[in-house]
Structure 1
Amino acid sequence: MAALRSSILSPLSSPLFKPLGDPFAPLITQGIIANRFLAPTATGSVPPNYTSRRAHYAHPDGDVSNFKTVDCTFVFAGITADQAATRIIKRYIEYPAGVFTQVTWGGQPTVTLSTTTVVSDPINLTIPAGAQFWERTVNLTNTVSLFPLQQLPASSQALGVSDGNSASDLGNSGTITATSTQTTFGATVMIGDIAAPNAKSYVIFGDSIAWGEGDISNVGPKGGNGWLGRALDVHGYPYLKIAKQGQQAADLVSSPSRVQSLLAAMSFTDAVVEYGVNDLRLGRTQAQILADQQTIYGYVPGKRIYQTTITPRSSSTDSWATTVNQTAKTDGNMAALNPLNAAIRAKPANVNTVLEAADAAMSARDSDIWGGAFPPTTDGTHPNSVKAASMAAALAF
């Protein structure tokens, strides 16, 4: 396993860290093969033959092959992982653009998604390191009123990504352009062989900040949104976000079984836990939050764990144009923000690396208000695209 030179990644001290060489590492790593995967966070009515196209970039460190699609059983329609609607789909991988490879399940060209995490057959395709490719998924069921959807913080057109939808079956033909809506649908994640030793891939656990709320003007160089997606874009590392607006660590811990089923079907190397601000806002104590974080670490045994410090919430009388007109929020248990961050900086058990999101967000350590570039936020909680990009640059993996 790769070692890290530093256990705390901070834009204030700017330490460097990178994996040390391992002469005995296998030449192939199994893991998440591409970026921009997201557990479903919304539902909508999807008619038969409706097709979604979603874009990804392959792992930057080596060609990917023998990969499989994984579909989870749940959707975060609310703040817990609820059972998703039953539906029948078919799917194709598009690489290069306009060339299609069919996905199969037990040799069959369609599959019913219901109460069990579903993994496809290995796909007979090699995608070069760093190459962009697409997946196309077609609903073959009669109209599904609560079809699980992947949702972005703004439309594909507004963000500048190519994800799109078609009202007709364009699984393996035709052109699908970027949608003017926020939602598409597709595989929860793809796993497979990466032709590189110690190839990293990440699962992100978090709330609306990890999901990308507020980051609505553009995306990172590989299509990532939210400061964490953008930070992983710097190198191009693959990731799956398990993140939902309004969610607390306590919500995941209270109903983990469907998420655990997904994790058990996956290969990956690293996990990032970002929860905390909603827990504080809703009155959870420092001890409760730290305990819930430990429970989440237990869902990913043997993985390297990154824990973020918790970013601020503030009000402003000038739309966050300055620091002097901001006031730190104290509702719920927000007054415990700095003690909680101090406890995280002390590196709790099982944490390999602390990501200093608070330092990257605040005007100064423990100021509890947002720093520039101004304005960094439009609501006092979620970094806008400019701020998300600057946080990503400070905390790049």
Structure 2
Amino acid sequence: MAHIKAVAGVAVRSVLRNVLLSTTSSTPLASLYMGQVATRCRIPTNSSTTNKQANSRTYHIARDDITSLKIELPAWYWYRTSTKLETNVTGSITYTASIEYPAGTFTQVKFGGANSGIATGSAAPAGTPLLSDWVNVNIPNGAGFWVRTFANATHAIVFADASAGTNFWTCDFANGEAYEYAASGVTDKTMGGTLVPNKTTNDAAIFHPTAIVGMTRKASVLLIGDSRVAGFGDFFNAAGDTGELARSIGPSLAYINAGSAGDTLSEFIASSTQRKALQQYCSHVVVQTAINALRSGTGQNKTAATVLAEQQTILGYFAGKGRFTTTTEPCTTSNDSWASPTGQTLNTNVAQITAYNDAIRAGVAGSLGYFEIADVSETARNSGKWKSDGTASKWTADGLHASPFGYASIQSSGAVDPSRFTR
């Protein structure tokens, strides 16, 4: 069934593309600032000490008229499959890069006037990302373009890990993304050449810039959250956006998706230096992470009061930004693949999930407001169960994450309204 959905999704891309690449009006911010000006920047979530060279081609959409831009390239990763900590690579990574727009036309990215630059890992200052010089390009608002990078590491490359399997899409082949890597012998293709991906399914790993910035007066959004923000269980829409928030924000505004599968508020408090630093490029921040602390499980089962206190700490990290929160979707098990409400069993900590959502609706300090995601997905407010219509796995396939239909329903509901990102 998932395969059928995937094929169908690709088939309708050409029909939907002009709609999803279009922009909607938004109120300009009062001041010009150096901010995110494109979609689909992501954080790396793993590294490889075996493969030390890699070419990457990533797809982005301009969300302002761009005449010059800078890109940021990291020497750190959030270790999703192990420690859940931000980790600096050992040694350093030398990058070359280009902006490809239109397809097949390349503009060299320079670093301190040179064709390559070094992002430091364990060397002082530890974990320092590499910010490029200004690149003069003319990319109109709403146009798709590509960033090409070549990484040559002394010890390890970093990338967005898709080892969670086919339910976690990271590489958007339909929009021309590709990632090739090896221990050595990889030819730098930033200024031309066809990348030969090591893996050709949408769960392939890939490396994205962590930021694409320009001078802008448009709002831009940093997304802080867990796997639901990262897009676990989702398929790419025509613009390549996935997850609870990016699908709704991407059609009109630039964003950085720092969603980290398996993350919790307490883990973010313990290790978030690099993700917090990304706020310098964004006017607004959405803090979503809650369900992994609230739902039952080892080290979980927290009270709503505890989670809300942790959230207050995190909102405090982004003082000076326009901050928003969200309600959280259900978490259930099912004996009929979520085809009916009666087949679902409530999470044993559902009372605390409900209390958390009600507190968010009442308003929390340090936030301009919230996005009502739970109401879109629940059978009724505070029911604790996923919507269903007799079709197996229609709204969710695992009881924790939305299905592609569920994610698309959040987008089409208008629950996450990008016009609210104004100040």
TM score, norm. by length of structure 1: 0.85
What is aligned with 2:143? 131
The total of aligned residue pairs comes to 363
Are 2:288 and 1:279 aligned?
no
Q: 1:150 aligns with which of 151, 160, 166?
A: 160
Structure 1 residue 391 displacement after superposition: 1.0
* Cα distance, 1:224–1:19 mapped onto 2, change above 3 Å: closer
Are 2:343 and 1:339 aligned?
no
Are 2:66 and 1:54 aligned?
no
Moved more, 306-315 or 42-51: 42-51
| AA at the equivalent of 2:61 | Y
Q: How does 1:297-312 map to 2 (within 5 A)?
A: 297-312=315-330
* Cα distance, 1:151–1:224 mapped onto 2, change above 3 Å: farther
Give the unaligned 5+ runs of structure 1. Answer: 1-17
Output the CA distance in 1 between the equivalents of 2:141 and 2:228. Answer: 29
Output the CA distance in 1 between the equivalents of 2:147 and 2:26. Answer: 31
Q: How does 1:367-382 map to 2 (within 5 A)?
A: 367-372=383-388, 374=391, 375-382=394-401
Output the CA distance in 1 between the equivalents of 2:350 and 2:139. Answer: 46
Structure 1 residue 33 displacement after superposition: 0.9
The one-character-per-residue Cα deviations of 1:326-369 (angstroms, maximum 9, x if unpaired) are: 11111xx4430111111110110111121011111111100101
What is aligned with 1:386? 405
What is aligned with 1:203? 222
Q: How does 1:30-41 map to 2 (within 5 A)?
A: 30-41=34-45
Q: RMSD of the TM alignment (CA)?
A: 2.3
What is aligned with 1:81? 86
Are 2:351 and 1:362 aligned?
no
Moved more, 82-91 or 248-257: 82-91
Contact 2:69 2:135 (8 Å CA) reproduced = yes
Moved more, 236-245 or 384-393: 236-245
Structure 1 residue 177 displacement after superposition: 6.6
Q: 2:73 aligns with which of 67, 71, 74?
A: 71
The one-character-per-residue Cα deviations of 1:89-133 (angstroms, maximum 9, x if unpaired) are: 111111111111111111121112122132111111121111100
Contact 2:76 2:86 (8 Å CA) reproduced = yes
| AA at the equivalent of 1:169 | D
Output the CA distance in 1 between the equivalents of 2:244 and 2:27. Answer: 26
Q: How does 1:1-397 map to 2 (within 5 A)?
A: 25-26=30-31, 28-45=32-49, 47=51, 49-59=53-63, 62-78=64-80, 79-85=84-90, 86-114=92-120, 115-141=127-153, 144=155, 146-151=156-161, 153-154=168-169, 156=171, 160-166=174-180, 167-176=186-195, 179-180=200-201, 181-194=203-216, 197=217, 199-215=218-234, 218-233=235-250, 235-263=251-279, 266-281=280-295, 282-330=300-348, 333-372=349-388, 374=391, 375-394=394-413, 395-397=415-417
Output the CA distance in 1 between the equivalents of 2:220 and 2:47. Answer: 27
Output the CA distance in 1 between the equivalents of 2:170 and 2:73. Answer: 23
TM score, norm. by length of structure 2: 0.80
Output the CA distance in 2 between the equivalents of 1:99 and 1:327. Answer: 54
The one-character-per-residue Cα deviations of 1:282-318 (angstroms, maximum 9, x if unpaired) are: 1222222112111211222221111000111001111
* Cα distance, 1:19–1:101 mapped onto 2, change above 3 Å: closer
* Cα distance, 1:288–1:228 mapped onto 2, change above 3 Å: same
Structure 1 residue 212 displacement after superposition: 0.7
- Aligned-pair identity in percent equals 30
* Cα distance, 1:76–1:334 mapped onto 2, change above 3 Å: farther
The residue matched to 1:298 in structure 2 has which SS? helix
| AA at the equivalent of 2:108 | Q
The residue matched to 1:243 in structure 2 has which SS? coil
Output the CA distance in 2 between the equivalents of 1:334 and 1:112. Answer: 48
